[in-house]
C-alpha cells in the first residue's frame, strides 16, 4: 500500500532542501549513530533515511548496499506520518506491507521500526530505522533509545545546516569584499584618471611624486620629470573646434604613451600641458626618450580618423631628481622653467640643465 502524502508535504520538502544534505558523502558522525541503532535494537540493518519527493535516500546505512530506494514502496514513507516510534513486528501480517515487494521479494523484510527525524517546526524529514528479516518487536528501552538517536541525528543535521550557512555567509562576504575592492579600485582609478585623455591626472601626479620623493625614500633613487605643452594649440582649436581639440589631446597622449616603458606615467597637467614621469631614469636615460616624444609628435598627422591631417609640435622641459631638485615643488618648478625656455627658443625643442 502506497503511503499518503503528509499534509505539510510542501513545507516538509522545503525544509529537507534547506538542510542541503541530500546526496552528500558518508560521514562518520552519522555512521556511528546508525551502528549504535543496529546494536541497541539487535538488527542487522539500520538506516538514516531521508524521504525526498520520489525516493528514499540513505545518509547512512549498515547492512544494506543500496544508497536509495523508491518512495512508493518505502516503509519510511509511512513512518514519517507517525508522531512517535513506528513499529511493524511482522510485515507479512500488516495489510499495508503484506504485498510490498520488499516483503515478498528478495529483501524478505519482516521487522521494521523507525523514529521520525522531526524539525523544531514539526516537519518529518525522514527516519532512523532498523530492519530485520525475522519478526520481532522492541522493548521499552529500545524504543526510548531509538527516539534518543533520532534526536541526535537531528542535532547532526542542524549542525550540518549551520556549517553550510556559515560557509555560504563566508562566500557571500568574500564575494562582497571582492566586489567592494573592485569597486574601490575602479573609483580610485577614476579619481586618478583624466577624463579627456584617459591617462593620469594631477591628483595622481602629486600622490605619486609625493610618495616617490618622500625624505625616507629618496636616497640614491632618481626620477626624471618631463613637462611639455603643445605649441600654438589654440590656433588648432580655433580652426577645428573644441571637440576636435579634445580628440587631438587624446591622440597626442596616445602617441606619447606608446613610447613609454611599463613603469613610466603620462599625466595631463591641464589644458594642453602634459607631464611624463620617468622613475629610475636620469638625464642620460630620459633625454633620448624625450627626443623621440618630440619627434613623434612633430611627425604624426592627427585627426586622420576625421579625414584631417593636423600637424602639431610641442615644447619640452626636462628636470631630474636629485640633479635639479629633491622635492615635488622644486622639480615641477625646474621643469616648468625649462619648458618656458623652450618656448623662448622658438618652440618644438627640448631644454634641460647642462650635465655636470
Which DSSP string do the residues of 196-234 spell out, in sequence order? TTSSB-HHHHHHHHHHHT-TTT-TT--EEEEEEEETTHH
Q: Report whether pLDDT(356) > 50.
A: no
Residue ranges and CATH numbers for the domains of the chain are 9-167 (3.30.450.40), 202-352 (3.30.70.270)
Which one of 141-155, 158-172, 184-198 scores highest in mean pLDDT? 141-155
Q: Give the tens place of pLDDT for each residue, 76-111.
A: 999 999 999 999 999 999 999 999 999 999 999 999
Q: Measure the CA–CA gap between 7 and 210, rounded to whole angstroms.
A: 72
H or E segment and range at residue 10: helix 9-18
Q: Centre a 10 Å sphere on the Cβ of residue 352 and count the other Cβ atoms it contains.
A: 23
Q: pLDDT tens-digit profile of 34-57?
A: 999 999 999 999 999 999 999 999
Angle between helices 28-41 and 140-191 (to 10 degrees): 170
pTM of the model: 0.61
Amino acid at each position: 500500500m502506497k503511503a499518503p502524502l503528509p499534509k505539510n508535504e510542501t513545507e516538509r520538502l522545503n525544509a529537507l532542501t534547506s538542510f542541503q544534505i541530500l546526496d552528500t558523502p558518508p560521514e562518520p558522525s552519522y555512521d556511528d549513530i546508525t551502528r549504535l541503532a543496529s546494536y541497541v535494537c539487535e538488527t542487522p540493518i539500520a538506516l538514516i533515511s531521508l524521504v525526498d519527493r520520489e525516493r528514499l535516500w540513505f545518509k547512512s546505512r549498515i547492512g544494506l548496499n543500496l544508497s536509495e530506494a523508491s518512495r512508493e514502496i518505502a516503509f519510511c514513507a509511512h513512518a514519517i506520518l507517525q508522531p512517535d516510534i513506528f513499529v511493524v513486528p511482522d510485515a507479512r501480517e500488516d495489510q499495508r506491507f503484506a504485498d510490498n515487494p520488499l516483503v515478498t521479494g528478495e529483501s524478505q523484510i519482516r521487522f521494521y521500526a523507525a523514529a521520525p527525524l522531526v524539525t523544531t517546526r514539526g516537519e518529518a524529514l525522514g527516519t532512523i530505522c532498523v530492519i530485520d528479516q525475522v519478526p520481532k518487536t522492541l522493548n521499552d528501552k529500545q524504543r526510548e533509545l531509538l527516539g534518543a538517536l533520532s534526536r541526535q541525528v537531528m542535532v547532526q543535521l542542524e549542525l550540518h545546516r549551520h556549517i553550510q550557512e556559515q560557509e555560504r555567509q563566508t562566500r557571500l562576504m568574500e564575494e562582497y569584499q571582492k566586489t567592494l575592492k573592485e569597486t574601490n579600485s575602479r573609483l580610485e582609478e577614476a579619481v586618478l584618471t583624466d577624463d579627456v585623455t584617459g591617462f593620469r591626472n594631477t591628483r595622481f601626479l602629486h600622490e605619486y611624486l609625493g610618495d616617490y620623493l618622500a625624505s625616507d625614500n629618496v636616497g640614491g633613487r632618481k626620477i626624471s620629470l618631463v613637462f611639455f605643452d603643445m605649441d600654438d594649440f589654440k590656433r588648432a582649436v580655433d580652426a577645428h573646434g573644441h571637440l576636435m581639440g579634445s580628440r587631438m589631446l587624446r591622440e597626442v597622449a596616445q602617441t606619447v604613451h606608446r613610447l613609454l616603458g611599463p613603469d613610466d606615467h603620462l599625466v595631463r597637467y591641464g589644458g594642453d600641458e602634459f607631464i611624463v614621469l620617468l622613475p629610475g631614469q636620469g638625464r642620460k636615460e630620459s633625454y633620448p626618450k624625450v627626443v623621440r616624444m618630440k619627434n613623434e609628435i612633430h611627425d604624426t598627422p592627427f585627426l586622420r580618423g576625421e579625414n584631417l591631417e593636423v600637424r602639431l609640435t610641442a615644447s619640452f622641459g626636462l628636470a631630474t631628481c636629485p640633479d635639479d631638485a629633491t622635492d615635488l615643488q622644486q622639480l615641477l618648478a625646474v621643469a616648468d622653467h625649462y619648458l618656458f625656455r623652450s618656448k623662448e627658443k622658438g618652440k618644438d625643442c627640448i631644454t634641460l640643465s647642462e650635465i655636470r
